[in-house]
Structure 1
Amino acid sequence: MTRRAAIVGTGSALPKRRVSNAELAETVDTSDEWIVERTGIRFRHIAGPDETTSTLATDASRKALAAAGLEAAAIDLIVLATATPDQTFPATATRVQAALGIDDCVAFDVQAVCSGFLYAVSVADSMIRSGAANTALVIGAETFSRILDWEDRNTCVLFGDGAGAVVMRAEEGERGVLSSKLHADGRHNELLYVDGGPSTTGTVGKVRMKGREVFRHAVVNLASVLGESLEAAGLSAEDVDWMVPHQANARILDATARKLGLSPDKVVVTVDQHANTSAASVPLALDTAVSDGRIKRGDIVVLEAMGGGFTWGAAVVRW
């Protein structure tokens, strides 16, 4: 039998404060119509002073563990994807580890911005397949509102805060991650980046983006990596039950599905409610579709994302 990393539980967490486009328009030169037409976004959640990347990640992790029917002590690996850590170091994963009461396990962060969760899933999958880990907590968590320029209406309206988590466990059989493919191309740094960092400006910096160029690359790269990951799994688009994409922009979701030949009915969309939560967006959307019963045991689910760098990736999972 083949040892695979099966997803056995999902969970998510959102900040208490929910902000509508209309509320945002009170302080930003924008409107509900402008945002919806260009992005599909209607709401986003913004972290309060007592909410951080680690608190959201911990909340999502507890829910994922409960869904899996496991105690925190069962976890021997934590991989947390974030571009907005609590501290420069140590890893936010270790703060989650401590909050969950786990005395000792492998715990570290990965940083691939919006693709971070896909990178984290691939790392956990590889470690579980190799026997280096048996039960992993894989998290995407962000407080992106902390790095937004609230005077730049082209970026600040796009993002929100949140966290999503999955429990991945070694199983023998067909269930689990069937394939994952990752890519990066650092030549496009100036299209989507943060203008600061510890070794350059000594500051956190703010998000900067050239939206049209990012859109063009996103549609091409995502359709390509989805096809690549399906081929690696020995499947085609016709075999897909659900696509759970990075929730960046409704138009990107539509264009990617069309390019792959997928029905819009098979695409999980939460961007209207959560906006772009970077590394948290795929696990947030995944938990939504699992919790409402859309994703069922045996379904073929594809996950995909693209983020600053550029980085991009996809994974095919048998539920």
Structure 2
Amino acid sequence: MTSKIIGVGNYIPSETIDNLFFDKHIFFNEEGLVLKENNASITDKLKKITGIEERRYASSDQVTSDLGLIAAQSAIENAGIDPETLDYIIFAHNFGDVRLGTVQSDTVPSLAARVKHLLKIKNNFCVAYDVLFGCPGWIEGVIQANAFIRSGIAKRCLVIGAETLSRVVDIHDRDSMIYADGSGAVILEASDDNSGIKSHLSASYTLKEKDFLYFGKSYNTDTCRDTKYIKMDGRKIYEFALINVPDAMKQCLDKSGYTIDQLDKIIIHQANEKMDEAIVSRFYQLYGTTPPENIMPMVISKLGNSSVATIPSLLTMILNDELELHKIKKNDVVLFASVGAGMNINAIVYKF
């Protein structure tokens, strides 16, 4: 027995933020000094490195659980199921509900409990909980749901990934331009046929890598020193990812029993276009070959990095035929992979 996806859904916020939005921002470096480059040069460099031209922000009245609810409702409708039949609701995020204009994260009750409440599920034995695992949180939620299903504890699970990173960025840090908001969700169900999850792998690198992504003070030293924002050491993350993610992907694929030439798609966390391309290239190098054309769909140029939401949102777009060059059909083998704060890495091989 394994688990398979029977429904998908996403929510892409309607507020489009292009790179011109940051034209009047004052960016500082880590020492609190104003960057000498003009903002046009900064945004141009961002586009060349990450591929990001636009990103989406949640509307002023929305929080992360609102975005997750919309994706969940869409997945439930797509699956054609009664939400009362769900055994688990697993909500992957990192910062909880942060209302616009505030700096406080709200995670009590859990975001999963809030979604269950708003779905009006009466079944008390539908267990709702959150997963905090960095950007790989949604994949980790799917891995946990699969474990529940394989063990016989559950037959059907809802796994949500949602984030409003626009609420936790330092506007004086140029890295703030990378982050975005969004959500995605899937319904997983027990399966005895040949489709579903074939293998998975997870790892946490914490000995030296724990603080590659962290919460830190604003680069503008005149602002409130007690307020923390999402921060990262981009160079260290890039080097870490290129060394460790391809190997994890290879281990997962090898464990599945499929070969590299049987792989139809790679859906990777949309963190940085050049980094993702380099990861996939190195992954194929481990097999002595090169990536085929259109193996890896990318939407980061228009949607930015929405953390846990990138993979389920992208999967929904593909299955809904919203990406012209990318299709997933029955019997296709897909490799999912992610890397993020922790530093955590995970991967899944899935047959549709």
TM-score class, shorter: over 0.9
Pick closer, same or farther for the CA change 1:264–1:146 going to 2, 3 Å: farther
**Counterparts of 2:171 and 2:329, CA distance in 1:** 40
Residue type of the partner of 2:53?
A: R
Q: Do 1:41 and 1:272's aligned partners in 2 also have CA atoms closer than 8 Å? A: yes
Residue 189 of structure 1: aligned partner: 210
Deviation of 1:28 after TM superposition, in Å, equals 5.3
Name the SS of the counterpart of 2:136 in structure 1: helix
**Counterparts of 2:50 and 2:66, CA distance in 1:** 28
Deviation of 1:314 after TM superposition, in Å, equals 0.3
Find out whether 1:100 has 2:119 as its counterpart.
Answer: yes
Pick closer, same or farther for the CA change 1:25–1:297 going to 2, 3 Å: farther
Q: Do 1:254 and 1:264's aligned partners in 2 also have CA atoms closer than 8 Å? A: no
Name the SS of the counterpart of 2:89 in structure 1: strand
Q: Do 1:227 and 1:236's aligned partners in 2 also have CA atoms closer than 8 Å? A: no
Residue 245 of structure 2: aligned partner: 222
Residue type of the partner of 2:239?
A: R
Find out whether 1:50 has 2:58 as its counterpart.
Answer: no
Deviation of 1:88 after TM superposition, in Å, equals 2.8
Residue 163 of structure 2: aligned partner: 142
Residue 172 of structure 2: aligned partner: 151
Find out whether 1:244 has 2:242 as its counterpart.
Answer: no
Deviation of 1:273 after TM superposition, in Å, equals 1.4
Deviation sequence 1:114-150 (CA, Å, 0-9, x none): 0101110110000011111111101111011111001
1:281 to 310, 325, 336: 310
Residue 331 of structure 2: aligned partner: 298
Pick closer, same or farther for the CA change 1:204–1:174 going to 2, 3 Å: farther
Pick closer, same or farther for the CA change 1:295–1:190 going to 2, 3 Å: same
**Counterparts of 1:232 and 1:50, CA distance in 2:** 45
Whose radius of gyration is greater, 1 or 2?
2
Residue 13 of structure 1: aligned partner: 11
Name the SS of the counterpart of 1:157 in structure 2: helix
Pick closer, same or farther for the CA change 1:206–1:318 going to 2, 3 Å: same
**Counterparts of 1:243 and 1:291, CA distance in 2:** 17
Deviation of 1:110 after TM superposition, in Å, equals 0.6
TM-score, normalization: structure 2?
A: 0.85
**Counterparts of 2:79 and 2:227, CA distance in 1:** 36
Residue 346 of structure 2: aligned partner: 313
**Counterparts of 1:248 and 1:151, CA distance in 2:** 20
Q: Do 1:244 and 1:304's aligned partners in 2 also have CA atoms closer than 8 Å? A: yes
**Counterparts of 2:246 and 2:260, CA distance in 1:** 11
Residue 130 of structure 1: aligned partner: 151
Name the SS of the counterpart of 2:199 in structure 1: strand
Q: Do 1:218 and 1:306's aligned partners in 2 also have CA atoms closer than 8 Å? A: yes
Find out whether 1:269 has 2:304 as its counterpart.
Answer: no
**Counterparts of 2:342 and 2:282, CA distance in 1:** 23
Residue 258 of structure 1: aligned partner: 281
Percent of matched pairs sharing the same residue: 30
Deviation of 1:195 after TM superposition, in Å, equals 2.9
From the two aligned structures, give the one with the greater helix fraction: 1
**Counterparts of 1:88 and 1:195, CA distance in 2:** 20
- Structure 2's unaligned 5+ residue stretches are 28-38, 98-105, 218-225, 285-290
TM-score, normalization: structure 1?
A: 0.93
**Counterparts of 2:147 and 2:47, CA distance in 1:** 39
- Structure 1's unaligned 5+ residue stretches are 197-202
**Counterparts of 1:241 and 1:18, CA distance in 2:** 31
**Counterparts of 1:80 and 1:204, CA distance in 2:** 26
